[in-house]
Amino acid sequence: MNSINHSRRNFLKTGGALALGSTLPVSLVELAFAEPSQNFTFAYISDAHIQHIKGNRFVRNWDRGLIRAVAEANLLTPKPDFVMFGGDLAQLGSQAELDHGAEIMSALSHKVHYVMGEHDYYLDLGAYWEKLFGPQYHSFDHKGVHFIVLNSIRTYDDWTYKRWPTAEQRMIEMAGLDNPNGSPFMVGEEQRKWLKADLDKVAVTTPIVVFSHSPLQKIYKGWNFWTEDAEQIQTLLKPFKKVSVIYGHVHQIQYNQIGNISFNSVMATAWPWPYPASYAQAEQYLPKLTVPMNRADPFFERDATGWQFINIANGNVDLNFTLYNNASRVVRFDNAKKHPEDKDYQPESTRIDPQRHY
Amino acid sequence: MRHLFLLTLGVAVFGCSQAAFSQQSGPANTDPTPAISNNLLGLPPVPVPANNPQTPAKIALGDKLFHDKRFSIDGTISCSSCHDAGKGFTDNLPVSVGHGGLTGTRNAPTVINAAFSKSQFWDGREPDLEGQSKQPFVNPVEAGLANHQPILDIVRSDPEYKAAFTEVFKVSGQQLIMDHVSKAIASFERSIVAGNSPFDRYYFKGDQTALTEQQQRGFQVFLAQGRCVSCHTIEQDHALFTDSRFYNIGVGINAIQQDVPRLAQAFLEAKARGGDVDQMVLTDKKSSELGRFAVTDGFNDLGAFKTPTLRNIALTAPYMHDGSLKTLKEVVTHYNNGGVTPVGAQVNAFLSGGIRPLNLTDAQINDLVAFMEALTSEQYAKSRPATGAQ
């Protein structure tokens, strides 16, 4: 909480009477547009992996992580305009898991948009999820920003429809890491056609924010930190002046800039993944811009998990990570360098050992 | 090997702390063979700040100040009112009673071994005993003074105090300020240190007869299934039974869960307006339950309070920051329930990660309680009150 605290204190020191009625990380909400009524922030919770044991029993750790994120998001002042959920609400896509996750999420006092994750999808290909949360891909406009939600975790039809004797086995095969039976994620032709048509209606000066579960860039195939048709999506987004892609799935802080597109990952509430660079049994392309998170202290069961709230500043996104039992981090778009940058950890000399030895 | 090492260490500890130790009246002071009944067995060296060294005269002065009821608005409250040596340096009440019968919001922590705390108060809002000891005088529900001036008026004019402050600090008149008073009290408190419990003789001296069989079983629960030792730490050569960290363990905050958004915001607004944290948390029950959040403003600290030492815990009922649990058995049951009392109540959203149902049997719970009763220092063993653990 340090950075948030300090910013807030600074604000309170100078804010005087303005400070009344504005408490939590209010000072981080920057001007998005000249018109103050257009300022906004939204919260982002992701990768809860609610896991059913049997009967009414669910894995307590994952429940607690999501419950806490929801409770903390409800403390944001001023209130965020909406909340995103970044996918993998469930672990094995069952109705029990999706229902239980939706119940925990219902404590949010905000409108929520959901992104599909592979753990939500591969049991019934999103049928029950759609009943709870709406279409698998769609777009919406909010205060001058065009938001796009994609289902980026589909794969080849042959794998999805012809390969597995049961839906349960299909789900489990896709849930594994380093699984030779797995298959790379992709947005797919159907959605690419829809995306092109959707973007055709948007002015190139309109800021675009794309939500996907997998990174719309290629980082590490073995763990599906990967989207097979990433380049084709990037090409569709190329004409626009300001584009941000925000993805879940990786359970760690990553950021990158490819041409006009800024990439940011969000945290999981369930558990942390290591960085692929620390494992790298196959070629990996962890973005050079990314400064790794410091390693989780195993004493703290929630360390290296968390959630984030996101400010739309001048059409670019700034991510404010709330990390349990750890120093909060802020990744902001640097207007001079034209890419996202960590507010605190950037110089090599300021890094600490737990960041180098993840 | 361990015994040899520990014996050496025990002597070293004793040597380091002799200044503090020699001030205590009682058997330790006159014992011709202190290495055998070392009252500091199981403790690390007492940390003493460089700018406030222990001296016998300073400790005696602190002792006098600690017991002086004149330092309150109606002449009825001294430090010792709530930190009574006969009650394990607590008051054995759920929450402390100040002047005019006013009650605060928190359970008086024991002074015994407070010298080892890395922060003071349940929410750690003061870093040391010097800072802590100034606060209760001017808290509206404790000693109730408007400011420290009445104390200074007394210590600057009372002949005994004048002589003592001149001797200890070489100050008098206007040069004698509240820092001198708090330093003397802190020095006295640093002399209230006690190890040498049955556990210490068992664990650090290898005396297998020091713990009963039930207590030995309880020790295994403490280390393993009970998961107590994660926070109530035991080191290789000493044991403070606290990690000096802050956790939300589902006490207090459970009752205000629906109110947290409103309370957190209202508290921060009041703080931004210049509100005093010490007064706010002790005079408003609901704000008090925000815990260390009141100090850090951090989500992590919502409903979180300091891990207390378990040394002499049998003397200091009732338990928890709000005194809401009457017995050690109720405390263990609360943890066994996964951070709720009664069982089945709603777990609060900010509960610390390590708190979860333990699946202890009733026999294991009783063993654990028996173990905690083996943490009473020899020098206090006779003074255990009737309200102690069952």
CATH number of the domain at B61, please: 1.10.760.10
Fold observed for domain A2-11+38-356: Purple Acid Phosphatase; chain A, domain 2 (3.60.21)
Q: Is the ipTM of this complex over 0.90?
A: no
Residue located via tokens 């811009």: A289
Same-domain status, B89 and B226: no
pLDDT above 70 (res A7): no
Residues B88, B385: Cα–Cα separation, whole Å: 9
Q: Does B270 touch chain A (CB under 8 A)?
A: no
- Chain segment B253-286, per-residue pLDDT in tens: 999 999 998 888 888 888 888 888 888 888 888 8
Same-domain status, B266 and B139: no
pLDDT above 70 (res B25): no
Around Cβ B150, how many Cβ atoms within 10 Å? 17
Is B390 within the bounds of a domain? no
pLDDT above 70 (res A25): no
Residues A24, A297: Cα–Cα separation, whole Å: 26
* Pairing verdict, β A41-45 and A82-85: parallel
The pTM score is 0.87
Closest by CA to B3, choosing from B32, B33, B40, B41, is: B41
Same-domain status, B38 and B183: yes
Asked if A113 and A82 touch (Cβ cutoff 8 Å), the reply is yes
CB contact under 8 A, B269 and A23: yes
Domain boundary among B263, B287, B302: B302
Residues A258, A265: Cα–Cα separation, whole Å: 14
Asked if A100 and A52 touch (Cβ cutoff 8 Å), the reply is yes
Domain boundary among B123, B158, B193: B193
Average pLDDT over residues A11-22: 29
CB contact under 8 A, B272 and A23: yes
User: What is chain B's mean pLDDT, rounded?
Assistant: 89
**Partner residue facing B353 (CB), from A12, A72, A302:** A302
Among residues 281-310 of chain B, which lie with CB inside 8 Å of chain A? 296-300
- Closest alpha carbon within chain B to A67: B349
What are A260's two structure tokens?
A: 């006009």
Q: Which residue has the higher pLDDT, B190 or B12?
A: B190
Q: Does B230 touch chain A (CB under 8 A)?
A: yes
Residues of A in Cβ contact (< 8 Å) with B275: none
Residues of B in Cβ contact (< 8 Å) with A20: 269, 272-273
User: How many CA atoms, within 13 angstroms, populate the side-chain half-sphere of residue A125?
Assistant: 9
pLDDT above 50 (res B27): no
* Pairing verdict, β A306-313 and A339-342: unpaired
Q: Does B129 touch chain A (CB under 8 A)?
A: no
Average pLDDT over residues B319-331: 98
Smallest Cα distance from B228 to chain A, Å: 13
Same-domain status, B175 and B271: no
pLDDT above 90 (res A312): no
Phi/psi at B83 (nearest 5 deg)? Answer: -120, 75
pLDDT score of A24: 37
Cβ contacts below 8 Å, chain A against chain B, sum to 59
Average pLDDT over residues B112-124: 97
Is B206 within the bounds of a domain? yes
pLDDT above 80 (res B335): yes
- Closest alpha carbon within chain A to B293: A1
- Closest alpha carbon within chain B to A17: B273
- Give the pLDDT band (50/70/90) at residue A313: confident
- Chain segment B42-88, per-residue pLDDT in tens: 999 999 999 999 999 999 999 999 999 999 999 999 999 999 999 99
pLDDT score of A36: 52
- At B369, the amino acid letter reads V
Residues B386, B195: Cα–Cα separation, whole Å: 22
pLDDT score of B274: 84
Work out the angle at residue B299's Cα, subtended by the Cα atoms of residues A36 and B318, and round it to the nearest 5 degrees: 145
Same-domain status, B260 and B344: no
Is B389 within the bounds of a domain? no
Same-domain status, B28 and B121: yes
Is B15 within the bounds of a domain? yes
CB contact under 8 A, A301 and B269: no
Same-domain status, B324 and B285: no
Residues of A in Cβ contact (< 8 Å) with B273: 20
Coil, helix or strand for A194?
helix
Residues B184, B193: Cα–Cα separation, whole Å: 16
pLDDT score of B150: 98
The parent domain of residue B186 ranges over 1-193
pLDDT score of B5: 41
Cα→Cα distances A148→A155, A204, A205, A209, B312, Å = 20, 15, 16, 6, 61
Asked if A266 and A247 touch (Cβ cutoff 8 Å), the reply is yes
Smallest Cα distance from B297 to chain A, Å: 7
pLDDT score of A294: 81
What are B135's two structure tokens?
A: 């606060």
pLDDT score of B299: 85
pLDDT score of B37: 65
* Helix axes A189-200 and A230-237, enclosed angle (nearest 10): 10
Average pLDDT over residues B117-133: 97
pLDDT above 90 (res A343): no
User: How many CA atoms, within 13 angstroms, populate the side-chain half-sphere of residue B303?
Assistant: 22
* Helix axes B56-66 and B178-190, enclosed angle (nearest 10): 100
**Partner residue facing A71 (CB), from B268, B272, B350:** B350
Least confident of A25-29, B291-295, B361-365: A25-29
pLDDT above 60 (res B40): yes
pLDDT score of B36: 52
Closest by CA to B251, choosing from B178, B153, B329, B350, is: B350
Asked if A246 and A312 touch (Cβ cutoff 8 Å), the reply is no
Same-domain status, B283 and B327: no
**Partner residue facing B349 (CB), from A21, A68, A322:** A68
Is B38 within the bounds of a domain? yes
Least confident of A23-27, A235-239, A252-256: A23-27
Same-domain status, B40 and B153: yes
pLDDT above 80 (res A31): no
Query: Which residue of A8, A26, A72 is the best one to mutate when testing the B interface, meaning the one whose CB has the most B CBs within 10 A?
Result: A72
pLDDT score of A23: 33
Closest by CA to A159, choosing from A147, A148, A146, A173, is: A173
Percent of chain B with pLDDT over 70: 88
Q: Which residue has the higher pLDDT, B249 or B24?
A: B249
- Chain segment A163-176, per-residue pLDDT in tens: 999 999 999 999 99
pLDDT score of A151: 98
Cα→Cα distances A10→A72, A312, B115, Å = 22, 21, 34
* Pairing verdict, β A255-258 and A306-313: unpaired
Is A38 exposed, middle or buried, given 0-12, 13-18 or 19+ CB atoms closer than 10 A? middle
pLDDT above 50 (res A33): no
Smallest Cα distance from A9 to chain B, Å: 9
Residue located via tokens 């109540």: B345
**Partner residue facing B349 (CB), from A8, A60, A71:** A71
Residues of B in Cβ contact (< 8 Å) with A67: 349
- At A131, the amino acid letter reads K
pLDDT above 90 (res B321): yes
Least confident of A58-62, A245-249, A327-331, A342-346: A342-346
If interface means Cβ-Cβ distance under 8 Å, which residues of chain A face chain B?
Answer: 1, 5, 8, 12, 19-21, 23-24, 60-61, 64, 67-68, 70-72, 74-75, 77, 299-302, 322, 324-325
pLDDT score of B383: 54
| One-character DSSP codes across A73-113 | HTT-SSPPSEEEE-S--BSS--HHHHHHHHHHHTT-SS-EE
Same-domain status, B243 and B346: yes
- Closest alpha carbon within chain A to B268: A23
pLDDT score of A357: 62
Q: Name the most confidently modeled range: A80-84, A276-280, B306-310.
A: B306-310
Is B388 within the bounds of a domain? no
pLDDT score of B265: 84
| One-character DSSP codes across B194-235 | ----HHHHHHTS--TTSS-HHHHHHHHHHHTTT-GGGTS---
Closest by CA to A302, choosing from B304, B313, B368, is: B304
Q: Does B53 touch chain A (CB under 8 A)?
A: no
- Give the pLDDT band (50/70/90) at residue B184: very high
Buried-exposed string B98-115: b where 16+ CB fall within 10 A, e elsewhere: bbeebbbbbbbbbbbbbb
Same-domain status, B288 and B143: no
Residues A181, A178: Cα–Cα separation, whole Å: 9
Percent of chain A with pLDDT over 70: 87
Q: Provide long-range contacts, Cβ within 8 A and 24+ apart, for B378-382.
A: B378/B37, B378/B39, B378/B196, B378/B197, B379/B26, B379/B27, B379/B28, B379/B39, B379/B194, B379/B196, B380/B88, B380/B112, B380/B194, B380/B312, B380/B315
Percent of chain A with pLDDT over 90: 66
Closest by CA to A224, choosing from A162, A166, A262, A177, is: A177
A114: part of which helix (H) or strand (E)? strand A112-114
| One-character DSSP codes across B337-355 | TTS-SSTTSPPPTT--TT-
Asked if B37 and B28 touch (Cβ cutoff 8 Å), the reply is yes
pLDDT score of A138: 98
pLDDT above 70 (res A347): yes
Query: Which residue of B249, B292, B299 is the best one to mutate when testing the A interface, meaning the one whose CB has the most A CBs within 10 A?
Result: B299
CB contact under 8 A, A71 and B260: yes
DSSP character for B320? Answer: S
- Chain segment A135-149, per-residue pLDDT in tens: 999 999 998 899 999
User: How many CA atoms, within 13 angstroms, populate the side-chain half-sphere of residue B253?
Assistant: 25
- Chain segment B226-250, per-residue pLDDT in tens: 999 999 999 999 999 999 999 999 9
Q: How many domains does chain B have?
A: 3
Asked if B264 and B302 touch (Cβ cutoff 8 Å), the reply is yes
Q: Which residue has the higher pLDDT, B287 or B150?
A: B150
Is B3 within the bounds of a domain? yes
DSSP character for A263? Answer: E
Coil, helix or strand for B300?
helix
- Give the pLDDT band (50/70/90) at residue A37: low
Least confident of B16-30, B49-63, B135-149: B16-30
**Partner residue facing A5 (CB), from B264, B296, B347:** B296
CB contact under 8 A, B349 and A67: yes
pLDDT above 70 (res B2): no
pLDDT above 90 (res A10): no
pLDDT score of A4: 34
User: What is chain A's mean pLDDT, rounded?
Assistant: 87
Domain layout of chain A by residue ranges: 2-11+38-356
